[in-house]
Structure 1
Amino acid sequence: MKRTLLLSFLLMVTFLQVALAQTRSVSGRVTDQKSGEGLPGVTVLLKGTTNGVSTDADGSFALSVPQTGGTLIFSSVGMNTQEMPIGAATQMNVSLAPSNRELSEVVVTALGIEKDKRTLGYATQEIQGAAVASKSEPNVLNALQGKVSGVSINGASGLAGSSTNINIRGITSLTGSNQPLFVVDGIPISNDTDRTNGGAAGTLYGAQTANRGADIDPENIASISILKGPAAAALYGSRASSGAILITTKSGANVNKKLEVVVNTGFNFQTVLGLPDFQNDYGQGTGGTNTTTGGLGDILTGNANSWGPAFGTTPTRANGLLLANGSSLPYQAYPNNIRDFFKTGTLWTNGVQLAGNNGTSNFSLNVNSTTQKGITESSNLQRTNIQLGGGTTLQNKIRLAGSVNFSQSDQLAPQTGNGGSAFGTLATVPRSFDLQGQPYQTATGANLYFSGRDNPYWNVYNTNTASNVTRFINTASISYDILPWVNVLYRAGLDTYTDRRKQIAALTS
């Protein structure tokens, strides 16, 4: 029995020695041909097998290979793949050259994976974050106008912080939502436009508040992918039946082994565009007359239409231009009384970004402020965004990543919609009414205008909606490379916000 055990042990040792003699270790370092620095994350694969490793932060690697023969394949995103026969070498140092392939061919898929655009089975289009931020638009959807094919983007109004509507490949439903699904760092988020007033006629009196996609600061975006066609619904369900907009926030992954500080500022002017052409031949009144109560000349007691006497008409009691006391009613055209209601708006953005990457860990901290003063009074937006993102690769090839996006938005918006709003009555201001020169309220603060109507200035000052939104969009993920071509990923996220609103409708409005 003892002899059998001894022989078995000797045979095991012999087989183990033979097995050990069939493999050996090859180590080395992979560097950038241009800079000479080590390349982290390069895949080193034994050709024809699944045996491979990734280089560490310094570009170094060690891999078990056969005793004889074999070829190593060195590959990395953005670099040319290189193959090298092992031969009898135990030390292999390789320099990789940058790939000539255009970066625009590599897109982020719906699952957050970088792939060659030509290998995808569905239509997609990617826009880099720099192109989005360059338009200096507070709403990221407005920044996409003219940059994406097959997509219709329309703002609800020109007021500060107003909502924006987006449709991908037209309208597909008559009863359901036609808005695409928004996905930030792999987590679906809300892009709702919450109405202040309920009921079927709720939109006729409320202010134009923002869609929740406006909480994302364009300066925090690394890239945006527009997912078109049924592939979006296949990945995200019925919520993405109208397409999906995939937003990847900054994480410092593109910063090459350095600490980077970027300060940005922008200042833009905004003016009203597309006012209609108004006639300036006839002033206040109707049927060629402009009569006031008792012929006393109080124009607010007259008719508010603009079909009174032609300008230059001789004043008479019959046409109302000659008052009871024998004086003439001031009667002239004010061609710009509606245009001058609007003012020049301003948009001021300021921000700072701190980003770093040491090869295995990366981070990005962005703090941005947006101040917008609209093209009318009581139209303002103040938004603060703080974004922290990053990731790290552990020694056991586990990858941890996450992001925290905080936004605080304060919006003040005048009433819009029906004829009772400033914009509803503005188009009917008589051509002879000095809107800027006449008082818009009494000594007690009451509305001063034609009976049954709000003075446009009084309306914007006294009938408006204030919105205060606090929002967090948080994501976290953990992934593990089982093999160089097999990855397991788990992702979780949270999207939560509070929207506090105060709507004012003053007495006598």
Structure 2
Amino acid sequence: MNKTSIVMVFAFFAFIMGHSQGVFTGKVLDENNAPLPGASVVIKGSSKGVATDFDGNFQIELNSANDILLVTYLGYIPTEIATSGKTSAEIVLLPDSEKLNEVVVTALGITRAEKKIGYATQKMDVEIIEEINAPNVGNLFTGQVAGLSVSNPTGLFQKPSFSLRGKSPLIVIDGIPVETDFYDVSANNIANVNVLKGTTASALYGSRGRNGAILITTKNANVDGLEISVSHNTMVSAGFTVFPETQTEYGNGSNGKYEFWDGKDGGISDGDMIWGPKFEPGVMVSQWNSPILDNVTGETIPWWGDVYGTQYDDKSRYSRVPTPWEYHNNLKDFMETGYISSTDFSVSSKSEKGSFRLSGNYSDQKDRVPNSGLKTGGLTFKSTTNLSKSLTLDSKLSYNKVYSPTTQDTGTDQRTTCIPF
């Protein structure tokens, strides 16, 4: 092998070594130089990663010499490490003060640091609850908490039901267990929602909390001085997303024949069949809204529906006058455009002596079904008085009214609640 060949071989191996995969080692420590076992080390932009051992050490095979490692650990700020020109590194993670100082509301309005709670708990995203308009604020709890299932009926004035790990949880508003269908709770009046899981909630609320609890804390004044806010939201519902597919060439009847009399096969195939005469111009058929003809006097009587049990239930004297045979999309014609219109206001003030917040809400819901709607309104007053440096007095008065002129299941419904705290 001559000199030129030797130089080419060394250059080839140098090229391979520069572009081959390498192993990167390191150690992850906290701010006190203590090892962090179980820290996640992932190659940025890929799913390839490892976890540190009990001593905080890790070893990962790189995809290229320019890979960037993303190091994360619960309660600490994520850190990125460039591997270019390195084979190892010692990584120090700093605490995330915002995460460590987060607090949750437990019982009777008491707040505790989330990291110090010894039982399962989870907060909901209140911003989603405020931004989205829904017929019932309980509908917005769907998918917010692991283990909490929300059943949302589609009918107006039907309340959602909750199942926390297969059991019905206790509902608590501002530290007071309540029975509510959430129609009297305004989304813009909720400060936070916290879910207590497991039997530990029974230690806070007795046997009623053995299945867990949903804790709702309403807003109070949090800005020094006077603050006034007004909001309005309108959501329009066009109806069903998808209608069932049906044939539209033939009407009621069978074998191309149909004549309505009583809807119970008293006529010609006027039972539950949809293969009657074809819809064509000029076709005349006796239908459910056809007038009744008195064959003796020649009188025509306007009529809708069957004649069973009436004086006209006599084919020897009466008959139905044929009317134009036309297609009608009854379901689409029946449904109307629904809407939800909500208006909220609040007046709050805070000073060294205490704070107060007066809020009100009014919601007008019109269902897709004609002549059905729901109106809700309420006023809430909440105050905190600082009696001394170590003693405060909290008070709350809530008035709510729910009115529905014609609900589909129960007819007229009107409820008024006044809850002092």
Normalised to the residue count of structure 1, the TM-score between the two structures is: 0.51
Tell me by how many angstroms 1:260 deviates.
0.8
C-alpha distance after superposition, 1:449-491 (max 9, x if no partner): xxxxxxxxxxxxxxx611111112222xxxxxxxxxxxxxxxx
Change (3 A) 1:114 1:292: closer
Shift of 1:293: 4.5
1:180 matched to which residue of 2?
169
1:471 aligns with 2:417: yes
Q: Distance in 2 between matches of 1:136 and 1:103?
A: 32
Partner of 2:341: 348
Q: In structure 1, how many angstroms separate the alpha carbons of the residues matched to 2:188 and 2:414? A: 21
1:399 and 2:396 are equivalent in the alignment: no
Q: Which residue in 2 is equivalent to 1:260? A: 227
Once the two structures are superposed, the pairs formed by residues 256-335 of structure 1 within 5 Å of their partners are: 257-273=224-240, 274-286=242-254, 288-293=256-261, 303-309=270-276, 311=278, 330-334=324-328
Q: Does 1:381 align with 2:374?
A: yes
Instruction: Confirm or deny: 8 A CA contact 1:251 1:388 kept in the other structure.
Output: no
Aligned-pair CA distance for 1:347: 1.0
* 8 Å contact kept, 2:101–2:113: no
Change in 2 beyond 3 A, CA 1:104/1:269: farther
Change (3 A) 1:349 1:230: same
Return the alpha-carbon distance in structure 1 between the equivalents of residues 268 and 340 of structure 2. Answer: 41
1:153 partnered with 2:150: yes
| 2:415 counterpart letter in structure 1 | V
Q: Secondary structure at the match of 1:354?
A: strand
Percent identity of the aligned residues?
A: 29
Partner of 1:244: 213
The amino acid that maps onto 1:110 is: A
**Which of 94, 102, 119 is the matching residue for 2:116?**
119
**CA positional deviation for 1:140:** 1.8
- AA at the equivalent of 2:175: G
| C-alpha separation in 2, matches of 1:300 and 1:359 | 83
CA 1:320/1:347 → structure 2, altered by over 3 Å: closer, same or farther?
Answer: closer
Kept in 1, the 8 Å contact 2:239–2:368? The answer is yes
Structure 1 Cα separation of the partners of residues 112 and 234 of structure 2: 37
Cα distance in 2 for residues equivalent to 1:370 and 1:100: 40
Q: 1:315 to 1:393 in 2, by over 3 A?
A: closer
For these two proteins, the number of residue pairs brought into alignment is: 292
Q: CA deviation at 1:184?
A: 1.0
State the secondary structure of the residue aligned to 1:242.
coil
Any conservation in 1 of the 2:400–2:418 contact (CA below 8 Å)? yes
Q: Cα distance 1:293–1:399, how it changes in 2: closer, same or farther (>3 A)?
A: closer
Distance in structure 2 (CA, Å) of the matches to 1:361 and 1:269? 41
TM-fit CA distance, 1:308: 2.8
Cα RMSD of the aligned pairs, angstroms, is 3.4
Unaligned regions of 5+ residues in structure 2, if any? 1-95, 294-318
Structure 2: distance between partners of 1:330 and 1:104: 75
CA distance in 2, matches of 1:150, 1:465: 35
Structure 1 SS opposite 2:376: strand
Q: Could you tell me how far apart the structure 2 residues matched to 1:278 and 1:414 are?
A: 29
Match of 2:64 in 1: none
| SS across alignment from 1:141 | helix
Letter in 2 for 1:466: T
One-letter code aligned to 1:164:
P
Distance 2:138 2:350 in 1: 30
Q: CA deviation at 1:281?
A: 4.1
Question: Does the 8 Å contact 1:283/1:307 carry over to 2?
Answer: yes
State the Cα distance separating 1:138 from its structure 2 match.
4.1
Normalising by structure 2, we get a TM-score of: 0.61
2:186 maps to 1:217? yes
Q: For the Cα contact (< 8 Å) 2:152–2:160, is it kept in 1?
A: yes
Distance 2:98 2:283 in 1: 82
Report if aligned partners of 1:285, 1:309 keep a CA contact under 8 Å in 2: yes
3-state secondary structure, aligned to 1:133: helix
Cα distance in 1 for residues equivalent to 2:270 and 2:201 = 57
Describe the superposition over 1:262-315 as per-residue Cα deviations: whole angstroms up to 9, x where unpaired: 111111102322443333243212454313359xxxx99962423332625899
How many Å separate the matches in 2 of 1:181 and 1:329?
A: 60
Question: Match of 1:148, as an amino acid?
Answer: V
- How far residue 129 of structure 1 moved from its aligned partner, in angstroms, is 4.2
The answer to whether the 8 A contact 1:138-1:370 is kept is no
